[in-house]
């Protein structure tokens, strides 16, 4: 059994980049991995004379509010340590970076908002990985940063097993006959619990870790077209981006003629590898 802790970063009034990422961990190592991340986070959240409950990466790295007392070099080193731990054995990340301007030009056929659109892509990535895992035991649970407005849409898509997403995780036929094996209602998203759960981010350490990952991806992509705000910023985020990429699930081979595949290729950020 696995858990995927998911957060997002980016809004239309902040720029063109939206990122949603999940940190996937096995149930057997969940407590141990959480403790490792808490060893990094707790000293940051426990700054004297503060009541900080929730870690926000953007405010932290910019040294705003309670974070201004932490030296810039220490803030940078903290993000490096989180990234190194996030790619350690037993952990994977799943994510999507999309462009607001591109999804406006090519909206989802059912007019799904970009939040459930992104969440369903993550679910498809996880389904694709877990369905071919030998002797896989248990299903995967999605735990989302609380979003009461769009969470019901994501849960509905998972529960109804929307066949529009089939092409993202179809597998090739075996034997001499080429082609892709069609899905059916029984095996659609059969590796994932058919409803997602939401939680306040300050109640889940790994949601806050997902926030770190999301912001790093987002800021790196923003800096591909924007000037840096401090010397060395582009290099710093590019290095973190490359560090995280080693453990990120990728879409891989898909049926080329499926509308869902073409849709995600169209709305993704131009510098993002599906």
Identify the domain containing residue 259 by its residue range. Answer: 2-267
HSE-up (13 A, CA, CB side) for residue 89: 1
Indicate whether 164 belongs to any domain.
yes
Please give the Cα distance from 28 to 26 (Å, whole number): 5
Indicate whether 273 belongs to any domain.
no
Indicate whether 274 belongs to any domain.
no
Please give the Cα distance from 197 to 142 (Å, whole number): 6
Looking at residue 232, its pLDDT comes to 95
> What is residue 48's three-state secondary structure?
coil
pTM reported for the whole predicted model: 0.93
The mean pLDDT of 107-129, rounded to a whole number, is 94
Indicate whether 209 belongs to any domain.
yes
Model pLDDT for residues 123-177, shown as the tens digit of each residue: 999 999 999 887 777 899 999 999 999 999 999 999 999 999 999 999 888 776 7
- Residue 220 neighbours by CB distance under 10 Å: 23
Tokens representing 31 are 């407590």
CATH number reported for the structural domain that contains residue 104 in this entry: 3.30.420.10
């Amino acid at each position: 059994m696995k858990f995927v802790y998911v957060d997002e970063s980016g809004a239309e009034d902040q720029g063109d980049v939206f990122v949603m990422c999940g940190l996937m961990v096995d149930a057997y190592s969940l407590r141990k991995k959480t403790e490792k991340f808490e060893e990094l986070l707790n000293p940051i959240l426990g700054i004297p004379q503060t009541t900080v409950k929730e870690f926000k990466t953007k405010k932290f790295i910019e040294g705003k509010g309670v974070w201004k007392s932490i030296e810039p070099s220490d803030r940078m080193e903290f993000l490096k340590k989180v990234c190194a731990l996030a790619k350690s054995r037993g952990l994977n990340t799943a994510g999507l970076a999309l462009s607001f301007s591109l999804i406006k030009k090519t909206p989802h056929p059912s007019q799904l908002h970009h939040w459930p659109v992104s969440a369903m892509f993550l679910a498809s990535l996880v389904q694709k990985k877990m369905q071919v895992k030998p002797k896989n035991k248990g299903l995967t649970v999605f735990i989302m940063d609380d979003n009461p407005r769009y969470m019901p849409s994501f849960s509905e898509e998972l529960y109804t097993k929307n066949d529009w997403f089939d092409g993202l995780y179809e597998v090739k036929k075996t034997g001499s006959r080429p082609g892709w094996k069609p899905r059916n209602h029984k095996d659609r998203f059969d590796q994932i619990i058919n409803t997602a759960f939401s939680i306040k981010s300050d109640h889940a350490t790994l949601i806050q870790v997902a926030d770190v990952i999301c912001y790093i991806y987002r800021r790196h992509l923003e800096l591909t077209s924007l000037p840096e705000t401090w010397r060395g910023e582009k290099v710093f985020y590019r290095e973190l981006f490359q560090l995280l990429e080693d453990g990120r699930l990728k879409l891989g081979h898909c049926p080329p003629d499926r509308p869902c595949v073409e849709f995600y290729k169209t709305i993704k950020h131009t510098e993002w590898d599906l």
